[in-house]
Chain A
Amino acid sequence: MDLLEYQVKEWFGKIGIPVLPSQRIDHPTDLKRLKIRYPIVLKSQVHGAERAKAGGVRFAETTIDAIAAAQSIFNLPIWGELPEVLLAEAQYDANQEFYLAVVLDTAVCRPVLLGCKEADIDWESAGEKMEYVVVEQEFSPFYARRLALKMGLKGTLMQSISSVVEKMYHLFVQKDLDFVEINPLAVSTSGQVMALNGKVRVNERAIKRHPDLTEMAAKIISRHPSTEINSILGDWDGVTMRGKIGILGNGTGSVMATLDLVANAGGNPGVCLNLRHAFLTDKTPTTFRDRLETGLKILAADKGIQVILINFLGSIPQLEEVGQVIAEFVQSEKSELKSQVVRSNGSKSRREVSVLPLVIRLAGSEFNAVREYLDTIKTHSDALVVVENLDEAVDEAVRLAKSTVSKK
């Protein structure tokens, strides 16, 4: 989950990373009650990059200027996202600007400290200009000093920069971050440092152990439609593609293998979900059964999806309830269809007036009971296919997706 700048700066302030006096603006009229002194800078609070280039950052000398600027920023979408709030901030006279970051490197399984004496880095050539230090053992401030020295800093500046890096690292660990970045970190002529902009990405798997983050995630979810949630919260253990075949599985590997097989068989994979983990959208602890229910609903709600392919093998928790959840889903699809046919005058699209076909691959003796149960439902529904072989399940799903299209 990515935080917005004003949220990041609240954290920075609390942990002692120097930030400018600022104020959150929810509405242009808030500027009438501004507590910071002019001139100010107004910044659009969106997740997208290159905010300044897009016109999301404006300078203002007076209240009138500021209100006009705020009005235009509130109506300016950046990468399709309209800001809900703006940040009004004092201006700062920078003599030098640096780049600082802490990132988790999953390849060496250690955090890495990054630093550069330039703020506007050309990421293509970052390898030559960026200095880094791997935090091999338990962190201690000397790692931060090592980075500052590698950056070529000396004296008090070396100390003030390494002190900022140290605080960034503490924040990184405290809040389970994937990365924290200050870009730029400004240095005044007197040597004072100031974080002018900050970015934070929280690890998805850790959100639920931080009450404040859980609340933030819940707000994002309640405000944004599901496709947008994905881009703000990251991949919650799924893949979003635009195809017609939605995939559910009980492990990352088999979800990916199924996706490959569908694509190789000439089908178009759609949203793919791994049910082994809880979704970020779940506010309370979930069971496998809950996730299967939610997964089916997500796929059914996706207008592009015309076939659902489930691939379960080995064993899954709450197995006895899985058959039931699937049966209920098939039944509810049917009853919805009936009520739609009654209401509609024949103008509904194909997808809306047909039952969503379900192809279920179940492999393993633990699934025998479920298979038998589903066989009893199958006799009543032609839209439910249960097979044991994966290749066969994929072929069936691809065939069904194609036949749905041709009947359109």
Chain B
Amino acid sequence: MNLTPDSKVIIQGFYEFISATHIAQMKAYGTNLVAGINPGSGGEQQYGVPVFDLVEEVIEQFGTIDTTIICVHPYQVLDAALEAIASNIRQIIIISAGVPPLDMVQLLRKAEACETLVVGPNSPGIIVPGKILLGTHPSEFYTPGPVGIVSRSSTLTYEIACELTKAGLGQSISVSIGSDAIVGSSFLQWLQILDEDDTTEAIILVGQPGGGSEETAARYIAEAIDKPVIAYIAGKQAPPAKHWRQTGTLATIIGRDPNFGTAQSKLIAFKEAEVPVAERPSQIPELLRKEIN
């Protein structure tokens, strides 16, 4: 993961999910935004960024690009990401929401084969407060400090950053891996990154119903993470979503727990891993203080 301010960044597409404000924020944060891609708009400027038709044209002019931020229409995300991979970009952040899951299946097969990190879709990206902003995190909620945040929800990430900042607790790295059904990078990968990061002293993990990534993360925390972790799970009171045959039948067939994916199962996993779970976002600073003081 290259999160240094000199890493070169491009934006593919300027769809609904990115605005002039986001780009101005990124620039103010010192992010090295070299170009934008928007087929048909080559040679123009968008929000003060030079625009090209193809990723390879940018590479020709500026050399290797480290990260691309994809903000195209959800149905064009797969194509944009494949174009980036073909141009040897190895960090992809997908801001667009609502990418059809089978497109993600195809993209992940390719990304795994090419060792490409995919964050998102439906993610605001990554922020290292005071250093670099790769995405659309509203920077005013953040201050530099020792708390790492890894989350599946964009808005909840800000909610928690905001509560921490109000309580005088700054953040080291904050990432939302995306709340779509299929996303690229996992909680596990980010726990590992935060565990190795020297500025991070404690970690907040934010989850929601669906999938089994919180459970896997809980087991990993118990086994491999020495830094204190606080969890928060949204959607405890929400009725269970409609799944194939309503419940965890597929899960049972594949040899998983019938409760698979429920908020309940995630809470149990954190309890077993002895990870404190906050009742509500505003309770997080108080739980954190107990752990780091």
Binding site for B on A (CB under 8 A): 103-107, 109-112, 114, 123, 126-127, 130, 132, 137-138, 172-173, 176, 178-179, 201, 203, 205-206, 208-209, 234-235, 239-241, 249-254, 256-257, 259-261, 263-264, 269, 272, 276-278, 287-288, 313-315, 317, 363-366, 390-391
Contact = CB atoms under 8 A, between A and B. Distances in A.
B5 interface: no
A317 B236 contact: no
B253 A114 contact: yes
Interface stretch (B34-42, B49-57, B197-205, B206-214): B206-214
A365 B281 contact: no
Given A206-B102, A253-B155, A364-B141, 6 more contacts: A109-B105, A203-B101, A205-B98, A249-B155, A253-B179, A276-B122
A67 to B, nearest CB: 35
A314 B138 contact: yes
B235 A111 contact: no
Given A127-B255, A261-B280, A264-B279, A317 B237 contact: no
A111 B253 contact: no
Contacts of B86: none
B166 to A, nearest CB: 9
Contact of A254 (B21, B101, B155, B181): B155
A375 to B, nearest CB: 20
29 contacts: A106-B101, A107-B251, A107-B256, A109-B105, A112-B254, A123-B245, A137-B109, A138-B109, A172-B102, A173-B102, A176-B102, A205-B98, A205-B99, A205-B101, A206-B100, A206-B101, A239-B239, A251-B153, A251-B154, A252-B179, A253-B234, A256-B209, A257-B234, A276-B122, A278-B98, A313-B159, A314-B141, A314-B158, A364-B158
A391 B250 contact: no
A130 B239 contact: no
A267 to B, nearest CB: 10
Interface residues of B, number: 68
B100 A205 contact: yes
B21 A105 contact: no
Contact of A256 (B17, B105, B235, B253): B235
Given A259-B235, A260-B237, A364 B253 contact: no
A238 B162 CA distance: 25
Contact of A251 (B74, B105, B156): B156
A253 B253 contact: no
B177 to A, nearest CB: 12
Contacts of A253: 151-157, 179, 206, 208, 234
Contacts of A260: 234-238, 280
B108 interface: yes
B114 interface: no
Contacts of B242: 234-235
B138 A315 contact: yes
B206 to A, nearest CB: 7
Contacts of B239: 239-241
B287 to A, nearest CB: 16
B280 A391 contact: yes
Contacts of A261: 280
Contacts of A317: 16-17, 19
B83 to A, nearest CB: 19
Contacts of A126: 249, 252-253
Contacts of A263: 237
B14 to A, nearest CB: 11
A111 B105 contact: yes
Contact of B21 (A209, A259, A315): A315
A357 B41 CA distance: 46
B136 interface: yes
Contacts of A277: 97-98
